Structure 1
Amino acid sequence: MSMNISATMKAAVMTEPRRIVTEERPIPELNDDEVLVKVMAVGVCGSDVHYYEHGRIGDAAVEYPMILGHECAGEVVAAGKSVSRVSPGDRVAIEPQTTCGRCPACKSGKYNLCPEVVFFATPPIDGAFAQYVKAREDFLFPIPDHLSYEEASLVEPFSVGIHAANRTGLKPGNTVAIMGMGPVGLLAVVAAKAYGASRIYVTDLEPVRLEAAKKLGATHAINVREQDAVETIKTLNGGLGVDVAWETAGNPKALQSALLSLRRGGKLAIVGLPIQAEIPLNVHFMTNHEVDIYGVFRYADTYPAGIEILASGIADVNSLITDRYPLERTQEAMDRALHNKSGSLKVIVYPNG
C-alpha cells in the first residue's frame, strides 16, 4: 500500500555544532510492521537546541552527521504488508519512539523506561527534520480533521505534562505550581487545567512566557525577577503550600523553589533536566513534610489522551507557535529557538512546504 513517492528526500542534516545543511537522503525502507509518513510539521524542542549548541546531553553525544527533530506529525504515504491500524492518506501524530515490548519495563506499562528504546533525534538515531520518516504502526495515532499538523506535533511535549500529572496523581481541585514556562512548561499548564487543577501558579523570568501561560489557563503568573516564588505562592494560596509542584525548566533554583512551595505531604515532579547531575535540596524539608518526589522521563501511553484533550479546544495551543520555517531554513529555526527566548515560544519547521 503506497502513494507515488520518489526514491530520495530532502533532510536537514547537522554536520557539526551549530551547522545544519540540506541534503538528499534515501527514502527509509519499511519493515512489514512499519509505516512511512510524509512529515508536515516538526516542533523545535529544547533537547534539539541543546544538541545543536553543545553536541551532547549528559552521556548522549551526537554522532555526526545527524538529523534532529522529534515533535512531529504528518500523512501516511506507505505501509508495510502487516500494517492494519493506519492506511495511506491518514493524518497522524507520531510518538517518536519504538520499544522492545518484551522487557520488564515494557510489560509493566512503563515502556518509556525500556533499555532498548529507539527515540527520534537521540544519538545515534536520526530524527524528523526530513520530508519522510518511518515508524512502527503502534506508535502512530490518527488525528481528527480539525486538529492541525502543528497542533498534533505539540502532542509530544504535551505528553510530558500528562505524564507528570499521572505520576503525581493530580486530581480535580488540587493546587499546582509549575516552575519554568518553556514550551513543556506551557503545555504542562494545559495538562494541569485538563486534570482539573483549581489553582495553577507558574513562574518564569520572561514576561512573554508568563502572559502565554495565563492565556492557556494559569491562574497566577509570577516573575521571579520581581517576586520570591515560594513566598508569593504561599501568600496567594492562603498561607499554605501547593498540593503538587512540577519543575520543568531544568534550573537548580527553580527546583529548590518547587520543593519549598509544597504543602505538608505534597508531591514534586522533576521534569526539567539540568546540566549538572547533582543539586543541593533541603532534606529536612523533604522528611519533615513527608514529600513524595517523582522523576519524569518522557512519557508512556499518553498520545490518545493528548490528542483528545488538544482536539477538545480546551486551550488555544496555536498561540504558542511564534515562528515558522521551511526545511531549507532549519538552521535559522534552531538559531531562533536558541537566541530568542524573550520572544519565541514554539518554533515549527515544515519539511514539505
Structure 2
Amino acid sequence: MAGTAKMRLARVHGPGDVRLDEVPVPHCGPGEALVQVAACGVCGSDLGYIAQGGLGGVEPLSAPLPIGHEFAGTVVAVGQCVTSVAPGMRVAVNPDRAYIGGGGPDGAMAAFIRVAGAEIGETLFPLPDHLPFAEASLAEPLSVGLHGLRVAGAKTEDRIAILGAGPIGLCALVMARHLGARDVAIFDRVPERLERARALGAGLAVDVTQESLTEALARFHGSGERFGAKFVGTDVFVDCAGSAAALEEVVAVAKYRARIAVVALHHKPLALDLWRMMANEISLAGSIADARSEEFGEAVAMLAAGGQALSPLISHRFDFSRFHEALAVAADGARAAKVILTFPEAA
C-alpha cells in the first residue's frame, strides 16, 4: 500500500490557503501503526491554522502544514517493536505524542495516517464494535473538555459555569455531566448553540446579550459579599470562549477559592484584577490538554458505555470529497456544532 499508492491530505500552505495535496500513503516504520481513517472532526484550531496560515501566524511556513487531529479508524499495518496492536483493530487515536495535525508531520484529514509511538492506552484506544467511528472521533474534543475540568479540580458537588457553547464548551458540558455535576451553567451569544447545550443537559443556558453572566449565576448558584464586593456561588469556571471581557467579569465576581481553567485561545493579553485574585485566593490555570492519555481513555470509555445522548454534538457529516463545504459549515457557529469528515471504512 505505502510507497506507490497515493492519497489526498489536507495541508495549509498559507493564510486562507488549504489544499488537498496528493501525497504518498505513509510508510509504517518501527514503533508506528498505519491507521485507515474512518472519521475526522473539524476543530476550531484547524480553522485557525487555515486562517492564520500556520500554527501561530507569525512565521511563514517552511513546509505545508498537515491538519486533522480528532479521528478514529482501523489499524491496517504495524511496524517493528509494536506490541498488542494488530491489523483490523478499531481505534480512536490520541494525537498528543507526535502532534498529529498540530505541527507534526502527519494529519488525519486523509485516508491513511501514520501514528508514531503506537501503544495501547497512550496513542491507540481500542473501540467496541458497536461504537460508530464518527462518535468515537469525539473522544479527542471530549478529553479536551475533561482535561480542563480536571485542571480546575472539578468535583461532583461543584457548581460549574462554562463560558462559550461552541464545540469545546459543549464537550466540557458533557464531561461535567459525566463527572456527576448537576448545577452546570453555560453562556454564549448564539441561540442555536444554547439550544444544543440544553439538549445536552445544561441546567442553565444563558444568552449574555439578554442577561449578564453575573446576574444569571447569582440566581442559579447563589451570591454573597466579601470585602464589600458581591460574589457568585460558582465553584468552577471553564473558559471555552476566549473573551477577555467575560474572563475579566469572572475574576471580578468569583468567590473565595473559586477555580478557573482557561481552555480557549486568547489572542491578546488582558488585564485582570490581581488584587481580587489574591484576596479571594482564586486559582487560574491554563489547560492545553497535552499528555492527557488518562482523560482520553475515560472519554472513550464513556462513549462506549453510551450513558449520555450525544447526538446534539454532531451537527453535520460530510464525505471527504466535500472537504471545502465541510469547512465552510464548520465556520458557521449558528449552523454547526461538531462537523465530521467521513471516509470509506476498511474492509
**Taking structure 1 as the reference length, what is the TM-score of the superposition?**
0.88
Q: Residues 18 and 59 from structure 1, CA distance in 2 versus in 1: closer, same or farther, beyond 3 angstroms?
A: closer
Match of 1:70 in 2: 69
Mapped to 2, the partners of 1:163 and 1:226 lie a distance apart of 30
RMSD (Å) for aligned C-alpha atoms? 2.0
- Asked whether the equivalents of residues 245 and 261 of structure 1 are also in contact (C-alpha less than 8 Å), the reply is no
- 3-state secondary structure, aligned to 1:332: helix
What is the aligned partner in structure 2 of residue 103 from structure 1?
none
Distance 1:213 1:288 in 2: 33
- Distance of 2:105 and 2:247 partners within structure 1: 30
Please give the residue correspondences for 1:7-18 in structure 2 after superposition, counting only pairs within 5 Å. Answer: 7-18=5-16
Paired positions, count: 330
Q: State the partner residue of 2:85.
A: 86
Indicate the residue corresponding to 1:241 in structure 2: 233
- Give 2:102's aligned amino acid: T
Aligned partner of 1:217 in structure 2 is 201
List structure 1 runs of 4+ shifted beyond 4 angstroms.
Answer: 3-6, 59-64
Distance in structure 2 (CA, Å) of the matches to 1:330 and 1:13: 12
User: Does the CA contact (< 8 Å) of 1:60 and 1:123 recur in 2?
Assistant: no
Give the drift of 1:264. Answer: 1.2
What are the equivalent positions in structure 2 for 1:29-40 lying under 5 Å apart? Answer: 29-40=27-38
Cα separation, 1, equivalents of 2:321 and 2:12 = 12
Q: Which amino acid aligns with 1:236?
A: F
Separation in 2, partners of 1:130, 1:203: 35
State the partner residue of 1:97. 96
- What residue ranges of structure 2 are gaps of 5+ in the alignment? 224-231
Provide the rounded CA distance (Å) in 1 between the counterparts of 2:208 and 2:181.
22
Shift of 1:343: 1.2
Give yes or no for the alignment of 1:155 onto 2:147: no
**One-letter code of the match for 1:279?**
L
Q: Which amino acid aligns with 1:204?
A: D
TM-score normalised to structure 2 length: 0.89
How far apart, in 2, do the equivalents of 1:83 and 1:203 lie? 45
Identity percentage over the alignment? 35
Structure 1 position 56, deviation (Å): 3.5
Tell me the equivalent position of 1:262.
254
Whether the aligned pair in 1 keeps the contact of 2:329 and 2:335 (CA below 8 Å) is: no
Residue aligning to 2:274: 283
Tell me which amino acid in the other structure corresponds to 1:79.
V
- 2:154 pairs, out of 164, 170, 176, with 170
Conserved 8 A contact 1:8-1:27:
yes
Name 1:324's counterpart in structure 2: 317
- Deviation readout 1:274-306 (Å, 9 max, x if unpaired): 111x11112222112110111111241222111
Residue 93 of structure 1 and its aligned partner are, at CA, apart by: 0.3
- Secondary structure of the equivalent of 1:21? strand
**Residues 315 and 63 (structure 1 numbering): CA distance in 2 closer, same or farther, change over 3 Å?**
farther
TM superposition shift of 1:7: 2.4
Distance in 1 separating the partners of 2:166 and 2:93: 22
Report the residue type matching 1:199 in the other structure: D
Match status 1:297 vs 2:288: yes
In the alignment, which residue of structure 2 is the partner of 1:48?
A: 46
Q: Are the equivalent residues in 1 in contact too, given 2:4–2:24 (CA < 8 A)? A: no
**Partner AA of 1:122 in structure 2:** G
Alignment-derived partner of residue 130 in structure 1:
110
**What is the Cα deviation at residue 196 of structure 1?**
1.7
Q: CA deviation at 1:333?
A: 1.5
Label 1:18 to 1:323 Cα distance change in 2 as closer, same or farther (>3 A). Answer: farther
Cα distance in 1 between the residues matched to 2:304 and 2:250: 30
CA shift, 1:156, in A, is 0.6
**Distance in 2 between the 1:293 and 1:44 partners?**
28
2:314·2:338 contact (CA, 8 Å) conserved in 1?
Answer: yes
